[in-house]
Structure 1
Amino acid sequence: MKLTILGGGGFRVPLVYGALLGDRGEGRVTEVVLHDLDAGRLTAVSRVLAEQAAAVEDAPVVTATTDLDEALRGADFIFSAIRVGGLEGRADDERVALAEGVLGQETVGAGGIAYGLRTVPVAVDIAQRVARLAPDAWVINFTNPAGLVTEAMSRHLGDRVIGICDSPVGLGRRIARVLGANPREAWIDYVGLNHLGWVRGLRVAGRDELPRLLADSELLGSFEEGKLFGVDWLQSLGAIPNEYLHYYYFNREAVRAYQQAEKTRGAFLHDQQARFYDEVGAPGAKALDVWDRTRAEREATYMSENRETAGAGERDVDDLSGGYEKVALALMRAIARDERTTLILNVRNQSTLSVLDNDAVIEVPCLVDANGAHPVTVAPLPDHATGLVCAVKGVEREVLAAAESGSRATAVKAFALHPLVDSVNVARRLVEGYREVHPGLAYLR
């Protein structure tokens, strides 16, 4: 099979290739095409992949190109992992928002909206090209904001585009681990939108073990989410939120921590990855060693401001191993080989959550087979979660409308309606601020 990776010069691509190297099954990926607009980044990542494959017999052949149409033709699977505006754009998203006293995180609040407004037009163009050049391909979307971008692409590709995220997988794994259960044998009742979901149950052998966790304060406070949100708050919710909900539940503290940080997350990653690409390009550099060292630093500092605010301490070693590449590989296997499995994915709602229409992309457990991903029927969300999900989905729809129409007024509406933006006047200034720093938003008039 041929796999095309869009954003193939990205730092996390070796995670995907490493997962592919471990797959020896029939119908595995034998050809990987990396596409990126930056030829230098493609060269650097290709060096890392070559070192990964050096000791692996019959490793997937890797080629690289800056020609998008060439990359798409003949693909069986397409991973979309682009970053429109690069990490400099992410840093600008954070800076403009924080100057207005609101959150600039890349998927949540003002920063997520700005990133979405830049990314949706590009993602739509990609979807239209896929429909024309590789109509039988399956698109697996890694690009953030994952739910929003997946929904934009689904308007052209239908259910042949599926969004993935490693956050629900990591959360379910941590809960199972602290309960002494095997994550592979647990059913995770997870419902919401991307970066906006809750684990409401974890069933092992037909029994829901989550109430046992919620009733045990010591056990509940022993893992990442217990430290991040606090035992009392989790017991009040009666559920375990995705870590990104910390930005909503503790917004004031998160904004203050980001304002006081020496560097925003985007600025940190921009500088870190610039060093990585420079080092890998040096003569005689051991590319894989440089990548491993950089990744360890990246993972250890993930959401560090939030953990500092909550007094959560350092991340556990078991949470530093990534995960989204494993979800992607399991998804490909299930579709290509009809290896039926259950995964938490971003897919069209159909009739899963009655408060949303059929085309709204949600994040829920899905049964996956050769015909794609099928969302599992779930119980309704409680009122507080329903309100938040509906509000954020409404904002996503305004982002899609602004990207399609080019309407500045609609973009302002998207910002103003977000729960983490507290004033219409702030929304107006955000739109102007982002238009000044992002040439890709010049289409908003």
Structure 2
Amino acid sequence: MKKDSLKVAVIGGGSSYTPEIVEGFIQRYHELPVRELYLVDIEEGRHKLEITAALAKRMVEESGLPIKVVPTLNRREAIEGADFVTTQLRVGLLDARAKDESIPLKYSIIGQETTGAGGFAKALRTIPVLLDIARDIEELSPDAWMFNFTNPAGINTEAVLNHSKVKSVGLCNLPIGTQMQIGKLLGVEASKIGLEWVGLNHLNWATKILVEGEDLLPVILGKASSEKGLTMKNIPDFQWGEEFLRSMGALPCSYLRYFYMTDDMLAEELQAAKTTGSRAEVVKKLEGELFEIYKDPNLKEKPKQLEQRGGAYYSTAAVNLIDSIYNNRNDQQVVNIQNNGLLDFLPDTASIEANCIINSEGATPVQIRSEIPNQIKGLIQVVKAYESLTVEAAVSGDYGTALQALTVHPLVTSAKVAKAVLDDLLKAHKPYLPQF
């Protein structure tokens, strides 16, 4: 029997993204009766938590809905009896992200928070914390669902699925963002567009783009080579070549620029480091401005400026998932799940990002109808090897495994560079890496 009152715990409640999910719960309240919304953070995030919670309370008060917003530093209190737990945390805060981005650049390799050496460092710090949260859920709320939005989402999801008993799904705003962008390109409502999504989180391709049953992939490949706008806010909009896209036979997600345009992306990062600052520094400034806006006692809604943060559609993705599980909707969404044979060239235990039917049982993958070309399979296999080794290293604290993980990554140029970067990252993040 469906509960008529839900408790949701948001781990990382002091995040600038929090007004997004609060807005989503308000808009869906009559289908999704969230009565208790616990916003959890740590002592270092207390100030931001107080600001976001105050804004959340004003938003709820303005809506007139009986949603109780509870800010807390007590994670166990928030998890106990929760129906859904979402994670949107950053271990080491933005200062750690700045190191993830700058250290690889010293060795002329990509520094990015979700892929390459930067994403690797973030995963090493994050996985032990997520597994600790999972243990709390196992003890205090074993029937709860855990939804991970924390980057690198695919690697983190694989860790939780393989090292805990928690019911867990990973999610990302990239698929829904891509759907919205394609809608604008075609002049079609996004809800009418169906994407066949193949790959891993931040390493995926649309192999079909369906509008009323017609596959418009060839049309989009023709447009995408020259159009701007098919990228995320935090990724430079370098153009795909038309011949490259047509021979690829699929639309690459915007993060694949790091793999297919490595020289351009690296040059952009090096230039930014000298001028405007790394993405972490840009986000730090943007967040400072956002929290000043959030403090306004007259602000009672999510401010428009939040879209510049790169988290657009986060609420849509998160609330859609919770709504569909609670209401047994049997609709289709793109989420991160265990492979279990869907991609026959990967281990069953690998996490993948795929189209799934979402209902009260969770996420069931939809069979992929396209033949996946070798050029896509090959890159997925190499990056998945890196991801699984990273999970193993984060759990075991084994230096050799960590070194092999970095060495196999396509964006790391040699074993010598991998070792130098690994040593620098371990030293820089020592307080957050007790397993090493």
**TM-score normalised to the size of structure 1?**
0.89
For the residue of structure 1 that corresponds to 2:303, the secondary structure is helix
Counterpart residue identity of residue 339, structure 2: N
1:248 is paired with a residue whose SS is: helix
Partner residue, 1:435: 426
1:265 corresponds, among 279, 289, 313, to: 279
Return the match for 1:230 from 235, 240, 243: 240
2:39 is paired with a residue whose SS is strand
Task: Please give the per-residue CA displacement for 1:320-346, whole angstroms capped at 9, x wherever unaligned.
Answer: x81121111111111111122100110
Measured after TM superposition, the shift of residue 274 of structure 1 is 3.8
Q: Secondary structure at the match of 1:30?
A: strand
Structure 1 residues 297 and 213, CA gap change in structure 2 (3 angstroms): closer
Which residue number corresponds to residue 373 of structure 1? 363
Partner of residue 221, structure 1: 226
Q: What does the per-residue CA deviation read over 1:98-128, in whole Å, with 9 as the maximum and x for residues that have no partner?
A: 1111111010101000101111111111112
Note if 1:211 corresponds to 2:218. Answer: yes
Q: 1:228 offset after TM fit, Å? A: 3.3
- Per the alignment, do residues 220 and 404 of structure 1 end up closer, same or farther by CA in structure 2, a change over 3 Å counting? closer
Q: How does 1:28-427 map to 2 (within 5 A)?
A: 28-37=33-42, 38-157=45-164, 160-214=167-221, 216-217=222-223, 221-225=226-230, 228-232=238-242, 233-261=244-272, 262=275, 263-277=277-291, 286=298, 292=303, 294-299=305-310, 322-378=312-368, 379-427=370-418
* Deviation readout 1:263-313 (Å, 9 max, x if unpaired): 0001221233245446756xx655568x726525434xxxxxxxxxxxxxx
1:359 Cα shift? 1.6
- 1: CA distance, partners of 2:294 / 2:23: 18
- 1:186-216 CA-to-partner distances (Å, cap 9, x unmatched) read 32111100000001111223221212333x4
**2: distance between equivalents of 1:90 and 1:439?**
14
Change (3 A) 1:362 1:159: farther
CA contact (8 A) 1:159 1:348 kept: no
1:312 aligned residue: none
State whether residues 154 and 351 of structure 2, in contact with CA within 8 Å, keep that contact through their aligned partners in structure 1. Answer: yes
Listed one character per residue, the Cα deviations across residues 141-189 of structure 1 (whole Å, up to 9, x for unaligned) are: 1011000001111124457211111111111222233233332223211
Mapped partners of 1:140, 1:160: distance in 2: 9
What's the counterpart of residue 20 of structure 1?
A: 25
Query: Aligned to 1:16, what secondary structure does the other structure show?
Result: helix
Q: Does the 8 A contact of 2:182 with 2:230 survive in 1?
A: no
Number of residue pairs matched by the alignment: 419
Question: Is contact 2:134–2:166 with CA below 8 Å preserved after alignment?
Answer: no
- Give the aligned residue type for 2:197: Y
Distance 2:9 2:304 in 1: 26
- CA distance in 2 between counterparts of 1:213 and 1:42 reads 42
In structure 1, what is the Cα distance between the partners aligned to 2:111 and 2:347?
28
Tell me the SS of whatever aligns to 1:102. Answer: coil
Q: More displaced, 125-134 or 51-60?
A: 51-60
Relative to 1, partners in 2 of residues 1:424 and 1:387: Cα closer, same or farther, differing over 3 Å? same
Letter in 1 for 2:358: V
CA distance in 2, matches of 1:212, 1:293: 32
The answer to whether the 8 Å contact 2:131/2:164 transfers is: no
Residues 247 and 254 of structure 1 are in contact (CA less than 8 Å); yes or no, is this contact kept in structure 2?
Answer: yes
Q: Which residue of 2 aligns with 1:313?
A: none
**Which amino acid letter does the alignment assign opposite residue 179 of structure 2?**
G
Are residues 134 and 443 of structure 1, via their aligned partners in 2, closer, same or farther at CA, if it must alter by over 3 Å? Answer: same
Secondary structure of the structure 1 residue equivalent to 2:238: helix
| Coordinate RMSD, CA, aligned | 2.1
The 3 A distance-change label for structure 1 pair 286 and 58 is closer
Q: 1:186 to 1:294 in 2, by over 3 A?
A: closer
**Matches of 2:183 and 2:245, distance apart in 1:** 16
- For the 8 Å contact 2:207–2:217, the answer to whether it is kept is yes
TM-score if structure 2 supplies the norm length?
0.90
The Cα shift of 1:390 comes to: 0.8
CA drift of 1:24 comes to 3.3
Q: Which letter does structure 1 place at the counterpart of 2:388?
A: R
Give unpaired runs (5+ residues) of structure 2.
Answer: 1-5, 232-236
Query: Which residue pairs with 2:3 in the alignment?
Result: none
Say if 2:128 and 2:395, in contact at 8 Å, map to a contact too: yes
Task: Mark the CA change 1:239 to 1:229 in structure 2 (over 3 Å): closer, same or farther.
Answer: farther
The question of whether the paired residues in 2 share the 8 Å contact of 1:398 and 1:411 is answered with yes
